[in-house]
Amino acid sequence: MKGRCNLELAAKDRIIVALDVPTLREAHLLAEQLGGYVGAFKVGLELITSEGAPQVVKEMKRFGNVFFDGKFSDIPNTVGNASRAVAQMGVWMFDVHASSGLGSMQAAVQNRGNSLVFAVTVLTSIDMNECVSVFGGFPNTKVIQLAGSAYEAGCNGVICSPKEVGDISKSFNGLLTAVPGVRPRWAATNDQKRIMTPGDAIKAGADYLVIGRPITSPPSETGDSIRAAQLIAEEIDQALAESGR
């Protein structure tokens, strides 16, 4: 399936590295090494719960763009207020669960300030059967339905698996995509289920790739985190060239 990236970006700027570590000290060490090799740093529930959101954002902004992956899922009033708080911290991007409903996504959009709002569709750790039991349908239909609500709410983009990117870019013009569930051939799958290689995700049309463990703890035969990020950027570059971008 061939898709189309919405953004013209250098390969490294498409990499959002997930800093899934428990302490700011560890996040610092990774961000210091990776600053010149990736486009943004994603801070998620582990780090912000352990160290406190304002402190984490303040520190990580020193190293580059910050994606605040708080995955808000609540009633519109609460999501709106949380969105205002995080936008005021100066994050580049934050996210809200599309399954929290149109009103909650609209509240996030209204209060986004200068930040981008992305809607989480179906987590990439959820397989076909679990998607049916939780959402009542297969990922290919449920993700498109949730992306449609995100588009209607005015979100800048959605978070989905690389497998759904092609259909999303065909259906919703200009809606950006950020995809976790990205695994180079040399990396372990871990708990991710709906996965693709970085090259295939780009060929499918993904704008941003959210990548954690393959960069933060690469297999020893691959090398260190910088080497892992470089290999992924090379793979992205090649895929961009092969798809004529």
* Contact residues: ligand C5P, CB under 6 A: 18, 20, 44, 120, 123-124, 159, 180, 190, 192, 210-213
Residue 23 or residue 77: which is nearer to ligand C5P going by CB? 23
Q: How far is the CB of 61 from ligand C5P (least distance, A)?
A: 18
3-state secondary structure (DSSP) of residue 116: strand
Rounded-to-integer distance, Cα 242 and Cα 245, Å: 8
Residue 195 or residue 239: which is nearer to ligand C5P going by CB? 195
The terminus-to-terminus CA distance of the chain in angstroms comes to 16
> Which residue numbers are catalytic?
71
Which phi-psi region, left, alpha or beta, contains residue 191 (left: φ > 0; alpha: ψ -120 to 50)? alpha
Q: How far is the CB of 64 from ligand C5P (least distance, A)?
A: 16
The two tokens of residue 105 are 């996504």
Q: Which residues contact 101 (CB under 8 A, 6 or more apart)?
A: 76, 149
Extended strands (E) in the chain: 15-18, 40-43, 65-72, 93-97, 116-120, 157-159, 176-179, 208-211
Return the residue nearest ligand C5P (CB atom). 212
Q: What is the DSSP letter of 89?
A: T
In the block, residue with structure tokens 């498409």: 14
Residue 191 or residue 221: which is nearer to ligand C5P going by CB? 191
Rounded-to-integer distance, Cα 15 and Cα 244, Å: 19
- How distant, in Å, are the alpha carbons of 42, 151, 196, 230 from that of 92? 10, 19, 25, 23
Residue 11 or residue 201: which is nearer to ligand C5P going by CB? 201
Q: How far is the CB of 150 from ligand C5P (least distance, A)?
A: 13
Residue 77 or residue 226: which is nearer to ligand C5P going by CB? 226
